[in-house]
């Protein structure tokens, strides 16, 4: 039997872009499966920084970000969260209400500054910028982007007694690599726009930028793009998304052999390393866990959700996922580890403002998730439609002049700090919210179709994993095995499975190549 209730929204003046959202496709039977996640932290530890370089990195505002662990991404978890992201509000729409990744999360999880100058600067010819600030120019600068591998090849090792000019060039290359593999990672693979390099010309000035706000603007845009049903990839700081889920929802939480260290800053280091293993879930399982959340008090809500998994012996195993909403995840963490300048800027976590990252401007709307600040949730202000233009950043363009409104809002960030209402009963809010939100992502289907969908989703995830596994370092035999796995799974998806399993599988002559989103 299928769920007959209208998934919403009943009133679409908030979620006006529902037809283009991935949840519409999923409801109609078009399972997208896992997203291809672009983040490139695995090679960061191969950069050998001298003490002089480390001081320059710290001066530029990235002393904590350079400690970012190379985390194994849970593509299925990220895909399930993206299904709940709405670019109309820059929030996750869950059954409990709206939640989002705020400036507070960026500041405490990544240790990036959330106050300062907006991350925006001059757009010059990429070749001239590279020549001036790096001392060399790559052979290919297609689209104003440089390959991360090129940066690593020529700048990853700097002698301790190197001249100051060479030390600064190697450090700028590292910073460009760092932001290009983390907070500003792109869906192009291993490339980063050269435009960020100009911000590292002066290390003291670089340290005055609100890098955390820029990273959040970039991530909001990436989440919004990935939430469209036409997309199959996502970029931005996905380590932040994953650790945000660990901290606030406990969804997808790794099972550690010992309790993670909470005596560290930034707090993403709590999840450092691979000492634990993740619960084995696919997108559908995570979706059900997120759907199981219920409205709750500002304190804590615990829902025990029974899941099933088939182990390596083919035996069905029951286990519980604790989907717990932690409205205040940092409340009990050791505040003495937080730097004083970070504490002083945390009031901006509740600033209703505009976040900027060069040509990207995104709204920060804390009034939609007041419970994340220990306040009772009231009906938020209406969000005016913000036109996201895909601006082509040409050389010599003055972006400052093209983004006057966004810059003005950022300049007034200290003025527009939201506060909660005096209410203690949030029933009126939830009544309003249930009318404007999308209640469900997937249907409750018959067992046959459900099994089919789970099989298709699993195959897509296998294909995605196989595609991102590197053959580097493998001998010819194991490389052939990897290629065989890729060929088998792609052939299976292409020839055996239909894009939409209606009442039954279509005849062989009427098969369609599925869009399995990898």
401, 400, 402: which is closest to 391 by C-alpha? 402
Q: What is the per-residue pLDDT for 6?
A: 80
DSSP-derived secondary structure for 309-349: EE-TTS-EEEEEEEEEEES-TTTTS-GGGS-HHHHHHGGGG
Establish whether the linkage from the previous residue to 303 is cis, with ω within 30° of 0. Answer: no
- Distance between CA atoms of residues 517 and 463, nearest Å: 10
Answer whether residue 313 shows pLDDT above 80: no
Q: What is the average pLDDT value for the chain, to the nearest integer?
A: 82
Helix (H, G, I), strand (E, B) or coil at 103: helix
Residues of the chain with pLDDT > 70, as a percent, come to 77
Long-range residue pairs from 133-136, CB within 8 A, at least 24 positions apart, any chain = 133/169, 133/172, 133/197, 133/198, 133/200, 133/201, 134/169, 134/172, 134/173, 134/197, 135/165, 135/166, 135/169
Helix-helix angle 447-468:75-82, to 10 degrees: 120
Q: Check: CB of residue 283 under 8 Å from CB of residue 33.
A: yes
Q: Check: CB of residue 222 under 8 Å from CB of residue 237.
A: no
Q: How confident is the model over 513-518, as a mean pLDDT?
A: 35
Instruction: Give the residue extent of every domain in the chain.
Output: 31-411, 447-510
Answer whether residue 312 shows pLDDT above 50: no
Quick: pLDDT tens for 448-474: 455 556 666 667 767 777 776 767 777
- Distance between CA atoms of residues 4 and 296, nearest Å: 26
Which of 224-233, 253-262, 322-331 has the lowest average pLDDT? 253-262
Answer whether residue 160 shows pLDDT above 90: yes
Give the strand pairing for 36-37 and 233-234. Answer: parallel
- Distance between CA atoms of residues 68 and 111, nearest Å: 10
Name the pTM for this structure: 0.81
- In sequence order, the 6+-apart residues with CB closer than 8 A to the CB of 227 are 21, 22, 82, 83, 85, 86, 87
267, 242, 430: which is closest to 335 by C-alpha? 267
Q: Check: CB of residue 353 under 8 Å from CB of residue 406.
A: no
* Most confident option among 16-20, 402-406, 427-431: 16-20
C-alpha distances in Å from residue 13, one per residue of 65, 88, 272, 286, 363: 39, 10, 42, 28, 17
Q: Check: CB of residue 119 under 8 Å from CB of residue 213.
A: yes
C-alpha R_g of the chain: 23
């Amino acid at each position: 039997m299928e769920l007959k209730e209208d998934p919403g929204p009943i009133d679409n003046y908030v979620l006006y872009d529902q037809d283009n959202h991935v949840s519409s496709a999923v409801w109609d039977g078009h399972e997208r499966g896992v997203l291809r996640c672009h983040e490139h932290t695995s090679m960061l530890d191969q950069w050998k920084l001298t003490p002089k370089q480390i001081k320059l990195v710290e001066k530029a505002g990235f002393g904590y970000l350079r400690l970012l662990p190379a985390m194994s991404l849970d593509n299925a978890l990220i895909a399930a969260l993206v299904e709940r992201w709405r670019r109309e509000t820059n929030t996750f729409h869950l059954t409990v209400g709206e939640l989002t990744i705020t400036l507070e999360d960026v500041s405490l999880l990544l240790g990036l500054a959330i106050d300062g100058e907006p991350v925006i600067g001059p757009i010059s010819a990429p070749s001239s910028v590279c020549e001036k600030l790096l001392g060399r120019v790559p052979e290919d600068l297609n689209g104003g982007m440089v390959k991360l591998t090129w940066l690593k090849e020529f700048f990853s090792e700097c002698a301790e007694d190197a001249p100051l000019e060479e030390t600064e060039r190697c450090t700028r290359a590292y910073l460009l690599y760092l932001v290009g593999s983390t907070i500003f990672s792109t869906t192009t693979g291993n490339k980063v726009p050269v435009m960020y390099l100009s911000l590292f010309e002066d290390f003291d000035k670089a340290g005055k930028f609100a890098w955390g706000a820029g990273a959040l603007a970039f991530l909001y845009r990436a989440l919004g793009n990935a939430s469209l049903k036409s997309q199959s990839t996502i970029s931005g700081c996905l380590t932040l998304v994953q650790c945000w889920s660990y901290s606030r929802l406990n969804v997808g939480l790794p099972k550690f052999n010992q309790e993670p260290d909470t005596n560290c800053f930034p707090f993403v280091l709590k999840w450092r390393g691979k000492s634990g293993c993740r619960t084995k879930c696919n997108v559908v399982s995570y979706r059900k866990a997120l759907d199981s959340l219920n409205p709750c008090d500002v304190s804590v809500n615990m829902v025990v959700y029974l899941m099933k998994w088939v182990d390596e012996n083919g035996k069905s195993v029951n286990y519980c996922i604790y989907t717990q909403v932690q409205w205040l995840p940092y409340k009990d963490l050791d505040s003495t580890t937080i730097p004083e300048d970070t504490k002083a800027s945390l009031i901006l976590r509740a600033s209703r403002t505009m976040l900027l990252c060069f040509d990207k401007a995104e709204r920060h709307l804390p009034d939609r998730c007041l419970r994340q600040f220990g306040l009772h949730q009231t009906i938020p202000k209406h969000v005016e439609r913000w036109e996201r233009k895909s601006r082509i950043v040409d050389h010599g363009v003055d972006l400052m002049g093209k983004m006057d409104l966004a810059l003005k809002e950022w300049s007034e960030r200290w003025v527009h700090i939201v506060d909660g209402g005096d209410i203690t009963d949030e029933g009126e809010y939830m009544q309003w919210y249930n009318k404007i939100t999308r209640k469900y992502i997937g249907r409750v289907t018959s067992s046959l179709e459900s099994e089919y969908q789970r099989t298709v989703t699993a195959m897509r995830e296998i294909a995605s994993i196989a595609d991102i596994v590197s053959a580097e370092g493998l001998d010819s035999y194991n490389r052939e095995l990897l290629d065989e796995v890729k060929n088998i799974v792609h052939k299976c998806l292409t020839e055996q499975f239909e894009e939409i399993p209606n009442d039954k599988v279509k005849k062989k002559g009427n098969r369609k190549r599925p869009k399995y989103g990898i």
